[in-house]
Amino acid sequence: MGKETVAAPGPRPAEKVRNVALVGHAAAGKTTLAEALLVATGALTRAGRVEDGTTCLDSEEVEARQQRSVSLGVATVEHDGHRITLLDTPGSPDFVGELRAGLRAADAALFVVSAVNGVDAGTVQLWEECAAVGMPRAVVVTQLDRARADVEETVRLCQMMLGAGVYPVHLVERGPDGSVSGLVNLLEPGAEAPDADRLRSELIEGIIGESEDEALMERYLAGDELVQGDLMSDLGTAVARGHFHPVLCAAPLQGIGMDSLLYLLVNGFPCPMEHGCPPVTRPDGSPAPPLTCDPDGPLVAEVVKTTTDPYLGRVSLVRVFSGILRPDTPVHVSGHGMADRGHPDHDVDERIGAVSSPLGATLRPVAACPAGDICAVARLTAAETGDTLSSPEDPRLVPPWDLPTPQLPVAVEAASRGDEDRLATALSRLVAEDPTVRLERRPDTGQLLLWCVGEAHAEVLLERLRTRHGVAVNTVPVRVPMVETLAGPARATGRHVKQSGGHGQYAIVVIEAEPGPPGSGVVFEQRIVGGTVPNQFHGSVEKGIRAQAERGVAGDRPIVDVHVTLVDGKAHSVDSSDAAFQAAGALALREAAAAAGTRVLEPWCEVQVVVPGEYVGAVMSDLSGRRARVTGSDADPERDRTTVRAEVPEVELLGYAGALRSVSHGTGSFSRRPMGHEPAPASLTAVPA
């Protein structure tokens, strides 16, 4: 998002608005399709430039060069009296946060499927997620002219893998050289192509099956010739209900199929009023009246994306569900239940700045953004992605969308002292922009960890730190903190006696120490007989033992799970003190560890891995190579998902996010929970230099 250069058309009523998310696997051709639609509507020239010469879609510089989209791109265009907002979502599973933000802002999803690569497992999984929330869906098959393209097989795979209600609308016409010359529209009679009559009948019957127009059924049964105009109203109803999914074809680079696709977006996709609004509550969680897409209703909008512009500062992409959002007006910011990820809850009033209609990197000022529309808002300083904007007099809260828990830790440190000053600010901006990021300063290792969804996600975040925020960082190996416990029982004496003239120091303690149960920590008790250690110094001994246990007795590994009993000692009426008995207690623990020896322990986690059934074997095989103990599995036949439960050393999970993505072809997810410490193998027990 950048400088404002082009005035946007005035607001449209909600029934004239279409918000469509382009979704699909990476390299399926989503961005190319979006640009072709912009060309077809006159918003973009063939050279890929808007009027002021900036590029069209809001992709980060790095992804454009690497031919992969990692950011939610947005473009709003006008066609046939309608406003169409295209939300170009990333295809990589590492950027599922941006993808789900696009789905939250949209009223329908257009799945882009490559005629070369077909339907992958990730596309099927996303299709099922959309089905679960009732998102209307359609499919467009692209890259028709590529080598190895097989349109018919791709359409067949769509019907087989995406389930019921998937009907082709187009057949491809090819010239003598095999190139795509045009499309046959099955919504119009008289198509001359193999299977055209059968496919047209199936398509019409699928539409009529969802129709509320009994007269249309009677006409069809009577043998009347139905044309596209007769069917589109009912096709739109069928799509909006989420039970009918047309499959179109397009060759974006040749401009083939763009008119048909735009016709479907306008006439066959639901408007915001048909799709409805998410549930809302008051900020305190109490019930609130349900929303309708009404410009006269209470203001409720949601921040679906946050970016930092070098000229405008923070810019928020906002979907307005109810009411009207106007420039330079106060709003209440509520959100968003992810304090554990470094995203504090918000409950503040702010005044927004300019309101604009986005066309990729260009912001076009608008007078207002009514219910059902999407806009960019400047000058929101507290609001983050996922937060709700509402009226200060009647605040509301939209529950945040589901987001994956980042499972890949990356340890970062400033490359220079000058970068240290800017690093904290830059990281806070990254966290505000991306709710899938978690920032953690580990107290046990002192490392600053950037928790990411996957390796590609980490690469992009580090590149943003460097290019957008001007901060150079180094990545260092993540340290998994080891701890120690006693290898056996021991009796030891701690003697702290110093006489150097004047007031001396005198404390002698005798302890019995032994390993404690896992997770018990440091347990201290006393069995002093005869007052050899006065009562007022028992706490001093315990304090010294605990401080020594925290520091460790070798290297920097703390002592845990140890039971220490104070059994004897000596004191001096003048020279004994709190400090002396703390020192004696610490020395006694060191002596006990030297006598009994220590065992190095490593942290373990309880892990749940969720994958389609076909990948369970590969997941279990991979876990076995990570010293894991598989404790069970549960199958969900309806969703074709299996949850594998296992206990895994934490060090083996450092790169597991990428490994799981590889063995499950991007369809797996996992969660972890600390479960304590267990003895570490010899290869991990060397004390760091």
Q: Cα–Cα distance between 109 and 118 in angstroms, integer?
A: 18
DSSP label of 382: S
- pLDDT, tens digit, for every residue of 128-140? 888 888 899 999 9
Residue 1: the pLDDT is 40
Last residue of a domain, one of 476, 495, 516: 476
CB 601 within 8 A of CB 560: yes
Judge if 576 and 589 occupy the same domain: yes
Q: At what angle do helices 656-663 and 616-624 cross, to 10 degrees?
A: 150
Residue 337: the pLDDT is 64
Both tokens assigned to 614: 């076909």
Q: Which of 134, 101, 127 is nearest to 112 (CA)?
A: 127
Q: Please give the single-letter amino acid code of residue 394.
A: D
Both tokens assigned to 13: 């009523």
Q: Please give the single-letter amino acid code of residue 52.
A: D
Judge if 153 and 190 occupy the same domain: yes
CA 602 → CA 310, 649, 659, distances in Å? 45, 7, 21
Q: Please give the single-letter amino acid code of residue 363.
A: L
Judge if 201 and 334 occupy the same domain: no
Q: Which residues of the chain have pLDDT under 70?
A: 1-11, 45-70, 191, 336-343, 360, 501-502, 686-689
Last residue of a domain, one of 576, 596, 616: 596
Whether the bond between 336 and the residue before it is cis, its omega within 30 degrees of 0, is yes
Q: Cα–Cα distance between 224 and 48 in angstroms, integer?
A: 45
CB 92 within 8 A of CB 459: no
Give how many domains the chain has, as a whole number: 5
Residue 336: the pLDDT is 65
Judge if 608 and 589 occupy the same domain: no
CATH number of 666's domain? 3.30.70.240
Q: Beta partners for 486? A: 598
| 6 located within any domain | no
CATH number of 344's domain? 2.40.30.10
Judge if 537 and 631 occupy the same domain: no
| 321 located within any domain | yes
Judge if 117 and 254 occupy the same domain: yes
CB 272 within 8 A of CB 372: yes
| 238 located within any domain | yes
Judge if 49 and 83 occupy the same domain: yes
Residue 46: the pLDDT is 56
| 241 located within any domain | yes
Q: Which of 469, 486, 478 is nearest to 523 (CA)?
A: 486
* Three-point CA angle 19, 24, 30, nearest 5°: 70
Judge if 613 and 578 occupy the same domain: no
Judge if 182 and 40 occupy the same domain: yes
| 283 located within any domain | no
CATH number of 562's domain? 3.30.230.10
Distance of CA 322 to the CA centre of its chain: 26
Residue 26: the pLDDT is 83
| 181 located within any domain | yes
Range of the domain at 89: 15-275
Residue 222: the pLDDT is 87
Q: Which of 268, 271, 82, 256 is nearest to 187 (CA)?
A: 268
Q: Cα–Cα distance between 28 and 35 in angstroms, integer?
A: 14
Last residue of a domain, one of 549, 574, 596: 596
Q: Give the pTM.
A: 0.83
Residue 60: the pLDDT is 40
Distance of CA 472 to the CA centre of its chain: 25
Judge if 271 and 307 occupy the same domain: no
CATH number of 222's domain? 3.40.50.300
Judge if 498 and 372 occupy the same domain: no
Instruction: Find the helix or strand (DSSP H, E) in which 105 lies.
Output: helix 96-105
| 434 located within any domain | yes
Judge if 209 and 140 occupy the same domain: yes
| 422 located within any domain | yes
Both tokens assigned to 101: 């933000």
